[in-house]
Amino acid sequence: MQERRWLLEGVERPDADALDVYRRNGGYGGARWRQAAGQDVCALVVDVTESEAGRFRDRKLAERLPHRLIEGALIAAHALAADEVYLCIRADWRRARTVLGHALGEAEAAGWIGRPLGRSGHAVNFHVHPVPGPLPARGGDHLLPNLIECSRPEPRAAFGVDALPTLFGGSVLVHCAATLGYLPSILSHGADAFRVLGGKDFPGTVAVSVSGHVRRPGLFEIEIGTGTFGDVIDDLAGGTVAGGESLAIFCDGAPALKGEAIWSAAVDPAAWSHPGGGPQMGSFGSGTIVVADESVAPIELAAKWLRDAAELSCGQCPGCREGSAWLAKQSRRLRQGGVAGVDLPAFEARLEELATSEADGLSICGHPTVAAQMTQGLLQIAPDELSQQAAPGAEPCTNDGPLRTADSIHLRF
Amino acid sequence: MSRTAIAERLRATIGESRLTEVLQAYKEPRGAILPLVTLLRDEGVDIDADVTAWIAHTCEVSSAIVLGALSGFSELGRDLDSIVVCDGLTCRLMGASWVRSLLQERLGQDRVCTSVCQNASSSAPTLQVHGVLYGGLHEDSLHALAKRLERPASRD
Amino acid sequence: MTQICQIEIDGRACDATPGESLLTTLHRHGIVVPALCHHPGLSCPATCRSCVVHVEDAQADRHVVTACNHSVSAGMVLHVEDEDSRQLRSRALAQLLQRHAMDCPTCEAAGECEFQEAVAGHGPQRQPHELQGATDRVQLGTRLIFDAGRCIQCGRCARFEHEVSGTQQLSMQGRGGDIDIVAATTGVDHAMAGNLVDLCPAGALVDPESTFLPPTWTRRSVDTVCGGCGTGCAIRADIDGEGRVVSLRPRHDEQVNGWWMCDHGRYESDADHEDRLALPEPPSPDPETAWQVSIDRLKRRLMQPRSAVWLSPFLTLEEAFLLIEAAQGWRARLFQWAPPEAQEQSFPGGFKISACAAPNATGLQRLLAGSNIQAGSTTDLQMAIAEKQVGQLLMCGGGPAGGRPPLKRDGVVFVAAHDLTGATAADLLIPASHWLEKDGTFLNQTQQLRRVRPADVEMACWDLWPEPSPIWFGCGRQGFGQRWSPS
């Protein structure tokens, strides 16, 4: 057990207490690990699902580096003395499931899983738990255990402030897949070596998904604090295809940024209000961005965002259930224009209500809040166009991107 | 088909050892509902009333629980043969609505449906059919794909 | 010894038990916040958000929490009835109202609807509402209808099916704006289905036979105990303006039935059976003296040698005690019967339906044992009759027809039956009172003593007896108006 305690303390961040509002933002552990250290944890639940639009970090990890994922999960399970690992992976990622399945077979054949290991003689069993989509994006760590138990995509509100989630009566630790991938190198090279990279509170690297109207969309692993999102788009992703001012949508819950503002958004969770308490408004999350050029109306994007939010919603809380469903309907009417127009003050008021709903305790997981805040951010970029579109008799604004020709597509599998 | 015959067919489709493995992975058999649904759909089995009843019986829950599970995920409501075009944010920016309309024109509205983000945005626009993801779709590749899919459904 | 700690609620210092939920603590201090998805007998999902209150942390920052699933800790500072908190709860209720079918005037639950009370007391006074078309009412079971337009998706019914009855015949289905309830293919057909109607906070699950009853506020209620089986659930009988029992609902009794009762007790109490005996039979020429005449006749017969009294497990302890005393005065032999053993039904939540289909079998046995009196079984009685040792017999009943074991009369000179109906062939029939009409005590199968109170007062015969007095036939409600004496 001594070894395992060192393991748990080694990976936690130095100031875990400050980060106690635990949301699924690519969590580095911290408070949850410390909690788990004092309890009997029966299983590790690995979250290899991602429902945010534009994110493909966990899928790539499962498809390209399955053994890294398995090794990380195995280390974590040993640290927790947990006997079972449930890899919750999206059912529609057939290729990822197949690759992961083969990798698990290889690991089993080599004797790493399913058999007693090392001096402790502790055996860990791996199970792949396919989860159909879509999932509520901000389910937090109470979504997956409830999903395994009840087969419904519903986050279960925790009792008390900080209880570990339970699965069939036993406590479990739910962990994001990507950050588990760091464990093998932390263990091999030591926590101090890991902390050399990145910042004081947020050491290491982050894998950022970039897609949209950029020349080279893809997943880029960046040392934390060494650049801004503008640098990522220009230097790593090859800049926008059409040139001109781009609009960056931060898919984990931050206001969209246009033009110069993208160059002040650091790739550093410490600079963001959530989780680092920094000046940049919004949630850093996994750092996923979708880049749109000037050919797309922000209203179009806002409507899409709300529609996705309504579809991802689980429906337990009335705010999301009634609120985002209503908003999606209104935003569709906005897009389509038409004779009646849209009651803009009512629409904006309802948006504002939903935007404060998480802080107001009116939702379990904060999904309607993120959806509303993102939409507000997008609409604030072009307020004149918004009122034009809401007026009676407006033309439909369906500015979807055109069908591409062969030479305009850059494939990054 | 009798209930026993249905059960035999489903057990044979999944494989006895795999079925045991799945059921034993959880403290209570109801944890196996979604894995069994996925395994059956992977094998091309449509989850109809009989299959629902078998899953309920095997996982020791009532049919209401299985129905609640199936209806909770829009993915499970789709036909196994359908062509699922990603309608996520990035794919829309990259022309997903044109992908959909082109395919609907060539293959019929019934066969083509949309989904939320398929998490392969660097290859946008994407679609999935028979468990295979196609990315980087442009006009020529779409026409070629549509031609292949025009034949009776085959799994590659 | 439970610990007590100090907390602050709206500036007032209050006592609380650490670890208890905020909702329970607030209720104890007389502060009501709506809690629509919460039920004390079920797990707590905190999805409706209507119980939100503000908690101050150490830095005097206010956070919003749901009272139902947060626990009290020492030194907690709560803001519950300030304007901000009220506004939040009002918003939560406004959201639930958004697509709720506004048919209070015709809804079965009107007047006893938790949602209605919550909105009236804590909700918005006006708000825009999306008018919905009429929704279908779906019959889920013999006495269960689901009206989707009224459903507020609290999930109580699905959780009940999972945690209490274990039958899982209801589940949430769909998601997002389309989330709904689905029933199993068999419908809802288990023995605890009636509790779903009580549970639903918004009139979405209703009993079809209550649809055309007068509204609830025209009724009064009596707290009593169910006599359907040995479990002895605590119940509340609702009585209409004419004194008739309209419905039975469970009351909370932690040691006996928790929050629930079974459908047999709820729907099949059968007090109003059309064959109920109102007067003794054979009928007397003068109804005014019918009772007196019949009782005198009974006394005369039973005072003779070779008399026997066959005690019923439907008698209250008081009735049984006095009858035993009277029998001893007559020097009559005592026997007792119990209903045939059925299968005990156990439910995962801990609720049980007893194998014994009578309320006071345990009580009777304990009474006899405690008084050191021997009472033979039905087999003993049959043997005694066969051996010509019984000349006169009083058979006690009070339960459903056919509940008492059959007996071969076989040479018994005089048989009197004390029953609800005239089904049994006897020389003298004396009307018994139903357990809904009794005034006394039962001892249930887990040795809990509980008071049964008269709810149904419709039996006309009571009008003939101006002075109720505790006497063995009915403890005042069906009394003979005179103190019994052996001679």
CA C314 centroid distance within chain: 16
**What is the separation, in whole angstroms, between the first and last Cα of chain C?**
56
B31/A149 touch (CB, cutoff 8 Å), yes or no = yes
Nearest-angstrom CA–CA distance, A263 and A314: 35
Quote the CA–CA distance of C187 and C196 in Å, as a whole number.
Answer: 13
Q: Measured between alpha carbons, how far is residue C193 from residues C160, C168, C184, C375 in Å? A: 10, 11, 13, 39
CATH of A2-195, one of 2.40.30.10, 2.40.50.140, 3.90.1260.10, 3.40.50.11540: 3.40.50.11540
Q: Does the structure show a pLDDT above 80 at C470?
A: no
In chain A, which residues have their Cβ closer than 8 Å to the Cβ of C88? 360-362
C348 has a chain B CB within 8 A of its CB = no
**What is the fold, at CATH topology level, of the domain defined by A205-293?**
Ubiquitin-like (UB roll) (3.10.20)
Q: Across the interface, do B115 and A90 touch by the CB < 8 Å criterion?
A: no
Inter-chain residue contact A316 with C47, CB threshold 8 Å = yes
Average pLDDT (C298-310) is: 91
Q: Is A55 on the interface with C (CB under 8 A)?
A: no
Chain C residue at shortest CA distance from A356: C88
Task: Tell how strand A170-176 and strand A41-48 pair up.
Answer: parallel
Do the Cβ atoms of A160 and C69 come within 8 Å? Answer: yes
Does position A123 have pLDDT exceeding 60, yes or no?
yes
Among candidates B49, B64, B73 on the partner chain, residue whose Cβ is nearest the Cβ of C168: B64
Q: Which residue of B has its CA nearest to A149?
A: B31
What separation, in Å, do the N-terminal and C-terminal C-alpha atoms of chain B show?
29
Q: What pLDDT score does C474 carry?
A: 37
The verdict on a CB contact (< 8 Å) between B61 and C168 is yes
Residue A198, pLDDT > 90, answer: no
Query: Nearest CA of chain B to the CA of A58: how many Å?
Result: 9
Q: What confidence score (pLDDT) does residue A40 get?
A: 85
Q: Minimal Cα–Cα distance from C208 to chain A, Å? A: 28
Q: Test B121 with A54 for CB contact under 8 angstroms.
A: yes
pLDDT of residue C178: 87
At A62, list the tokens.
């499962």
Chain B contact present for A94, CB below 8 A: yes
The separation between CA C72 and the C-alpha centre of its own chain, rounded to angstroms, equals 33
Cβ within 8 Å, pair B72-A153: yes
Confidence at residue B15, expressed as pLDDT on a 0 to 100 scale: 94
Partner-chain residue, chosen from B42, B65, B138, that has the shortest CB–CB distance to A409:
B138
**Contact call for C185 and B68, based on CB within 8 A:** no
Which one of 2.40.160.40, 3.30.70.20, 1.10.10.10, 1.10.260.40 gives the CATH number of domain C99-115+128-212? 3.30.70.20
What average pLDDT does the segment C426-435 reach? 88
Please answer yes or no on whether C177 and A359 come within 8 Å at the CB atom.
Answer: no
| Nearest CA-CA partner of C475 in C447, C435, C444 | C435
C185-207 tens-digit pLDDT: 889 999 999 999 999 999 999 99
Euclidean distance between CA atoms A51 and C141, whole angstroms: 39
3-class secondary-structure state, position C85? helix
Percent of chain B with pLDDT over 90: 73
- Residue linked to tokens 């040691």: C255
pLDDT band at A15 (very low <50, low <70, confident <90, very high): very low
pLDDT score, position A27: 38
Return the CATH number of the domain spanning residue range C5-95. Answer: 3.10.20.740
Query: Does A203 score more than 60 pLDDT?
Result: yes
Predicted confidence band at C471 (pLDDT cuts at 50, 70, 90)? very low
Q: Which of C48, C70, C88 sits opposite A318 (nearest CB)?
A: C48
pLDDT-derived band at A16, boundaries 50, 70, 90:
very low
Q: What does pTM read for this prediction? A: 0.90
User: What percent helix, strand, coil does chain B show, rounded to 5?
Assistant: 60, 10, 30
Residues 146-205 of A with CB under 8 A from B: 147-154, 167-170
Put simply, the answer to whether B31 touches A408 (Cβ < 8 Å) is no
Contact at CB, A317 and C48, closer than 8 angstroms = yes
pLDDT in tens, B45-92: 999 999 999 999 999 999 999 999 999 999 998 998 899 999 999 998
Among residues A129, A50, A152, the alpha carbon closest in space to that of B117 is found at A50
Q: Residue B109 carries which side chain, given as an amino acid letter?
A: Q
CATH topology for the A298-408 domain: de novo design (two linked rop proteins) (1.20.1440)
B80 touches chain C (CB under 8 A): no
Q: Is the model more confident about C483 or about A190?
A: A190
Mean pLDDT of A27-49: 76
The predicted structure's pLDDT at residue C467: 32
pLDDT tens digits, residue range C56-114? 987 778 889 999 989 898 899 999 999 999 999 999 999 898 888 888 888 999 999 99
Of the candidates A386, A387, A366, the residue with the CA atom closest to the CA atom of residue A324:
A366
B112: which residues sit within 8 A by CB, 6+ positions away? B82, B83, B85, B100, B103, B104
DSSP of C396-459: E--S-TT-SPP---TT-SEEEEEESBS-S--SEEEEPPPTTT--EEEE-TTS-EEEE-------
Contacts of B121 in chain A (CB under 8 A): 53-56, 209, 211-212, 217, 290
Q: Is the pLDDT of residue A122 over 50?
A: yes
Q: Picking from A235-249, B65-79, C123-137, C174-188, which range would have the lowest pLDDT averaged per residue?
A: C123-137
Nearest residue to B116 via CA among A310, A229, C208: A310
User: CA C208, C210, C213, C216 torsion: positive or negative?
Assistant: negative
C457-470 mean pLDDT: 39
Spacing of C-alpha A105 from chain mean position: 28
Place of tokens 């939100």: C52
Cβ neighbours of A20 in C, within 8 Å: none
pLDDT in tens, C255-278: 999 999 999 999 998 777 778 887
Q: Do B68 and C182 touch (CB under 8 A)?
A: yes
Tell me which residue of A265, A317, A303 sits closest to A398, measured CA to CA. Answer: A303
Contact C69, C47 (CB under 8 A): no
| Nearest-CA distance A320 → chain C (Å) | 7
Q: How far is A212 from chain B (nearest CA, A)?
A: 5
Q: pLDDT band for position C49 (50/70/90)? A: very high
Among B48, B60, B62, the strongest candidate for a mutation testing the C interface, having the largest count of C CBs within 10 A, is B62
Q: Assign C130 a pLDDT band (cuts: 50, 70, 90).
A: low
Answer yes or no: do C168 and B53 touch at CB < 8 A: no
Mean pLDDT of C19-30: 93
Neighbours of chain B (3+ CB pairs under 8 A): A, C
Domain boundaries, chain C: 5-95, 99-115+128-212, 287-474
Asked if A360 lies within 8 A of C88 by C-beta distance, the reply is yes
Residue A230 has pLDDT above 50, yes or no: yes
| CB-count burial class (<10 Å; 0-12, 13-18, 19+) for C341 | exposed
Q: What's the pLDDT band for C131 if we cut at 50, 70, 90?
A: low
Interface test with C, best of A154, A156, A308, A321 (most C CBs within 10 A): A321
The hierarchical CATH code for the domain C287-474 is: 3.40.50
Under an 8 A CB cutoff, do B94 and A401 touch?
yes
pLDDT tens for residues C391-412? 999 999 888 877 889 888 888 9
Return the percentage of chain A with pLDDT > 70, whole number.
88
Q: Which of residues 311-370 of A touch B (CB under 8 A)?
A: 311-312
CA angle A367, A370, A372 (to 5 degrees): 105
Which strand (E) or helix (H) includes residue A313?
A: none
Angle, in degrees to the nearest 10, between helices A367-381 and A298-312? 170
List of chain B residues whose C-beta atoms are within 8 Å of the C-beta of residue A219? 122
Query: Given an 8 Å threshold on Cβ–Cβ distance, is C182 in contact with B71?
Result: yes
Nearest CB to A290; choose among B31, B42, B90: B90
List of chain B residues whose C-beta atoms are within 8 Å of the C-beta of residue C173: 67-68, 71-72
Mutate to test the interface with A, among B34, B93, B127 (most CBs of A within 10 A): B93
Q: What angle do CA A365, A367, A369 make, to 5 degrees?
A: 110
Mean pLDDT, to the nearest integer, of A103-118?
90
pLDDT at C465 over 50: no
* Position C475 confidence tier, pLDDT thresholds 50, 70, 90: very low
Chain A contacts of C49, Cβ < 8 Å?
317-319, 361-364
Q: Which of C167, C175, C182 sits opposite B67 (nearest CB)?
A: C182
Look at residue A23 in the predicted model and tell me its pLDDT: 27
Closest CA to A283 of A378, A347, A367, A222: A367
Nearest beta carbon to residue B89 from set A129, A167, A249: A249
Q: Per the CB < 8 Å rule, is A361 touching C48?
A: no
Q: List chain C residues with CB under 8 Å of A368.
A: none
